[in-house]
Chains A and B, each alone.
Chain A
Amino acid sequence: MKHVIFVRIFICCLLLMLSLQTLQAQSEKLVFSPHWIPQAQFAGFYVALDQGFYRDAGLDVQIIHSSADVSSLDLLKSGKADVVSSFLMDAIKLRVNQTPLVNIAQLSQHSALMLVAKKKSGISKPEDLQGKKLGIWSSGFDDIPFAFLRDRKINMEIVRILNTVNLFLMDGVDVMTVMNYNEYDQIINSGINEEELTAFYFADYGYDIPEDGLYCLESTYKTKKDALRKFVQATLKGWEYAAKNRDYTVNLVVAEMKKAHLPNNKAHQYWMLDKVLELITPGNKKVAYGQLMRADFLYALDIIKINSGIKDIKLTMEDFFMD
């Protein structure tokens, strides 16, 4: 008799395990693509994945990376990614250009974009930029620099560059657009001291426009609203965890970089993590973590209107940002 009872208990347990597995299999699948190669800029996503925050939220998240050839927005448009991160300006422009994407979270609240020049080029104030060569990425991120130059009536010779700082280091250009969290530190890590550089932070000149945000297609938002909300919350949790566990986070990021066969070192990733965490923090802006401030949205839209020369862009905050 006893034997029969044990068999029954065993069968019950087996059934229970199977049902649990089925439950897990039913968790919502999401594909996320950051808008650049693995680096500390996206630490929160790796942490949320590694720490199981997504899984705990009932999500099965997969991170795929964009490349110089295929941007995260391309992946979004093609349906290869459900959620992507992107620059606010780029996303608005895409939306204006009829790509039905929406912002589901504004992670960065500040601008990390800046111009950097070598002091030896004789540049110490914006007026000194007149007539100099400016290196700007061919991939974009140029709205604010152009607004800055236009507002100050500064003419510069624009040189499109790919993604290295070597032309600047070789004195091929006098000035370069860089991200404070990335290329600026790369320049310093190439042997140029900070005191040898003149830095113009656009944020200091009134262009503190948020950058990285999370986007999905409107259709996705409609069907996976709940999963997306969970994704945003788990991501914010990931960032919170990253801020409190810098060493772990940097190690995780470096491991991701190694997986992608990218040059990696901790010094730069620590710098990037610290700077990106500063960007995420609202600071003097009256906005909650992950929220897009209406004023920022309108300012960004204004700049785009002026840059593109299209004045009657009809895009509202409510259409664009899904709280």
Chain B
Amino acid sequence: MRTKSLSFKIIIRILFFTILLGAAIFSTYYYYTRSEIERSTRENAVFLADNTIKMIEEIIKPAEMIPNNLSWMLETGAIPKDSIMPFLAKLVKNNPIIYASAIAFEPGMFAPNVAAYAPYAYRNGEKIETINLWSPDYNYFIMDWYQIPAMLKESYWTEPYYDEGGADALLSTYSVPFYLNKGGERVLGGIITIDISLEWLTEIVRSVKIFETGYAFLISRTGVYVTHPDPNNIMNQTIFTRAKELEEPELRDIGRNMIHGVSDLTSIDLKTLGYVWIYHTQMPTTKWSLGVVYPHNEMFAGLHKLNFTIILLSFIGLGLLLFFTIRIINRQISPLAKFAASARGIASGDFNTELPHIENSEEMKELHDSFAFMQKELADYIVHLKETTSAKEKIESELRIAKEIQMGMIPHIFPPFPDMPEIDLYATLLSAKEVGGDLYDFFLLDDNRMCFAIGDVSGKGIPASLFMAVTRTLLRSVADKEKSTAEIVSSINKTLSFNNESNMFVTFFLGILDIQKGELKYCNAGHNPPILIKNKKDVSYFNITKAIPVGLFESYEYTEESIRIALDDQIFLYTDGLTEAEDVNNALFGDDLLLQVISQHAAASPREIIEATTQAVANHVKGHTQSDDLTMMSISYYGTTRA
């Protein structure tokens, strides 16, 4: 996997969380702003519609009062029937809002024999004209303005109509039934009307401007457009035919709500305007319905513009944030790369590598100090290590020399007595890595007697080797032809035991062989019993004596033993480094295996036996590190006959 840089990871995370946070904040802001706009639009729509209606009603309501009062006046007889015509003329003249006015009588209600009479006053330019509306061609009883209020017994605003050839304007007639007393009964007397021009009304509605394309419109009780921004719709279309033409069934539903007097804010996706909000409410007087149309896009146009700005700024901000974050992070963590280079320098041994210069960050300063400390400590340690190493090397060199000296003390030349065919002797001391404490020695006491010894000093190292050297030196100085082996060993013991503060000791086997007689006198001070090979075939250990090693008790008296050695007999001596040689499983070579190996080579010369045994040990340990000195010495006795 490709590892990414720390700064990259930090920046990506910062960026991710910034965008996430930004998106969350933006969404919340957008949601609330939108709701707020919707709420305020709703309020505004209601206010606008109500206000528009109020403006219209302020004109219509006083106008409605005129026929309402007139009906009361007619009923009470306040207006004499013969002055109705001039009264109407005066009424039209004095009320600019009224284009015309009529009082249409039910048959026989104006006068018993008058089937129809409808005095009518109307404007003709500046003049006020009066006529009787009734004619055979104008049967007002079946006109909406008369028939509907007469049948319903309630006042009625007619559907708007275009008065061609008369007012040449859009008019609506307000009709109010009036009652008269006939034979003591209150009966319908007829209908009072006022014709009102709707020019001012359309002007009021048309003046409503909502955003860019929003508008207000007014529909009659049957859904006919009284006002609409598209003049082609006025009086030609109902909201329902328009819904049909535009194939907008929802518009029909809105229209139905409108003519049923419902006030509601609703939305619709129109093919012509797109998604719009419509608030509609009814005019209390005419029962016509006013709708205000808010184009959705324009409602939120400001918000969308602001959103665009915010998003643009956010991107710029994000870019700047990214730029500075990269810069800051790079500046902050750039020492890390330098530290890495320094660490590499230090690792390669240059303890004087310059560390990056840190000024601005506590953490980096701490890292710098740690690095500096490490640098100093490492330098000190290396100096110390150098000293220690050289000291160790010195010691090792000295030890090596000590070992060489030690080995030098041991006779190395074989055969040792070329002039003496009676005996053959071979010995090896394979020392372990450290300086050991094994020893062997042999020398002639006189022409007939050979002294030989093998020993193993307790412990290892310099003390053991010193003790060995002392033992060997003592042997050489103490041994002479007068003394028995016991006396020699006792003497050595006495010297070694004296002031032996370190409590070191040595297992020691000392033998003196009388070459002429073949008599071997020996003293064993706690050493492994040697092996006697008789007639080149019988192999056996020497008897085990109970004498203690040399160096322990000053006054210990060692005893001498003796055996007779026959021709071709061989004595095999060794230290415990042989029998205790371990393989990887800590299995010892052991006495039995030794005896077995020796008996297999019973007829061999001392050198051959030792070499065979060495090989056997090597086979046993299989490369496991040698832990103790391995010392062997073998003496073959050929007697005087060979000479």
Asked if A26 is at the interface of the complex by the 8 Å CB criterion, the answer is no
- The reply to whether A191 and B222 form a contact with Cβ atoms under 8 Å apart is yes
* Cβ contacts under 8 Å, A138 to chain B: 139, 142
- The reply to whether A166 and B144 form a contact with Cβ atoms under 8 Å apart is yes
B272 smallest CB distance to A (angstroms): 15
Asked if A19 is at the interface of the complex by the 8 Å CB criterion, the answer is no
Asked if A317 is at the interface of the complex by the 8 Å CB criterion, the answer is no
Query: Given A162, A189, A266, A268, which contacts B223 in the complex, CB threshold below 8 Å?
Result: A189
Query: Given A169, A191, A263, A265, which contacts B255 in the complex, CB threshold below 8 Å?
Result: A191
Asked if A190 is at the interface of the complex by the 8 Å CB criterion, the answer is yes
Query: Given B142, B162, B221, which contacts A169 in the complex, CB threshold below 8 Å?
Result: B221
- The reply to whether A172 and B223 form a contact with Cβ atoms under 8 Å apart is no
* Cβ contacts under 8 Å, A160 to chain B: 142
Asked if B159 is at the interface of the complex by the 8 Å CB criterion, the answer is yes
A69 to B138, CA, bound (A): 8
* Cβ contacts under 8 Å, A159 to chain B: 147, 151
B238's nearest neighbour on chain A, judged by CB, is A189
A170 to B154, CA, bound (A): 11
A171 to B151, CA, bound (A): 10
Stretch at the interface among B11-19, B35-43, B239-247, B418-426: B239-247
A236 to B345, CA, bound (A): 110
Range for the number of chain B residues in contact with chain A? 20 to 34
Given contacts A166-B222, A167-B144, A267-B241, contact A172 B236 (CB under 8 A): no
Residues of chain B in range 230-265 having any CB-CB distance to chain A below 8 Å: 235-242, 244-245, 252, 255-256, 259
B139's nearest neighbour on chain A, judged by CB, is A138
A253 to B143, CA, bound (A): 27
Asked if A188 is at the interface of the complex by the 8 Å CB criterion, the answer is yes
B389 smallest CB distance to A (angstroms): 109
Residues of chain A in range 164-215 having any CB-CB distance to chain B below 8 Å: 164, 166-167, 169-173, 188-191, 193
We find that the number of chain A residues with CB closer than 8 angstroms to chain B is 26
Given contacts A160-B142, A161-B147, A263-B235, contact A268 B241 (CB under 8 A): yes
- The reply to whether A267 and B222 form a contact with Cβ atoms under 8 Å apart is no
- The reply to whether B144 and A190 form a contact with Cβ atoms under 8 Å apart is no
Given contacts A167-B148, A170-B156, contact A161 B238 (CB under 8 A): no
A268 to B222, CA, bound (A): 15
Per-residue contact bits, chain A 63-92, to B (CB 8 Å; 1 contact, 0 not): 000000100000000000000000000000
A243 to B134, CA, bound (A): 43
B144 smallest CB distance to A (angstroms): 5
Asked if B82 is at the interface of the complex by the 8 Å CB criterion, the answer is no
Query: Given B159, B162, B236, B255, which contacts A264 in the complex, CB threshold below 8 Å?
Result: B236
- Main secondary structure on A side of the interface with B: loop
- The reply to whether B152 and A170 form a contact with Cβ atoms under 8 Å apart is yes
A162 to B142, CA, bound (A): 6
- The reply to whether B159 and A166 form a contact with Cβ atoms under 8 Å apart is yes
* Cβ contacts under 8 Å, A69 to chain B: 137
B159 smallest CB distance to A (angstroms): 6
A169 to B259, CA, bound (A): 11
Per-residue contact bits, chain A 266-302, to B (CB 8 Å; 1 contact, 0 not): 1110000000000000000000000000000000000
- The reply to whether A265 and B152 form a contact with Cβ atoms under 8 Å apart is no
Asked if A2 is at the interface of the complex by the 8 Å CB criterion, the answer is no
Given contacts A159-B151, A160-B142, contact A265 B241 (CB under 8 A): yes
Query: Given A171, A173, A191, A268, which contacts B256 in the complex, CB threshold below 8 Å?
Result: A191
* Cβ contacts under 8 Å, B252 to chain A: 191
Per-residue contact bits, chain A 141-167, to B (CB 8 Å; 1 contact, 0 not): 000000000000000000111101011
* Cβ contacts under 8 Å, A263 to chain B: 224, 235-236
Asked if B164 is at the interface of the complex by the 8 Å CB criterion, the answer is yes
Asked if A261 is at the interface of the complex by the 8 Å CB criterion, the answer is yes
- The reply to whether A172 and B151 form a contact with Cβ atoms under 8 Å apart is yes
A165 smallest CB distance to B (angstroms): 8
Q: Which 3 A-B pairs have the closest CB atoms?
A: A190-B222, A267-B241, A267-B244
> Measuring CB to CB, which residues of chain B are less than 8 angstroms from any residue of chain A?
137, 139, 142-144, 147-148, 151-152, 156, 158-159, 162, 164, 221-224, 235-242, 244-245, 252, 255-256, 259
> Measuring CB to CB, which residues of chain A are less than 8 angstroms from any residue of chain B?
69, 138, 159-162, 164, 166-167, 169-173, 188-191, 193, 261, 263-268
A-B pairs with beta carbons under 8 Å apart, 29 shown: A69-B137, A138-B139, A159-B151, A161-B142, A162-B143, A166-B148, A167-B147, A167-B148, A167-B151, A169-B222, A170-B152, A170-B156, A173-B151, A189-B223, A189-B240, A190-B222, A190-B238, A191-B222, A191-B238, A191-B252, A191-B256, A261-B162, A261-B164, A264-B236, A266-B241, A267-B237, A267-B242, A267-B244, A268-B241
Add 6 more A-B contacts to A169-B221, A265-B237 (CB < 8 A): A164-B144, A164-B159, A173-B151, A264-B236, A265-B242, A267-B237
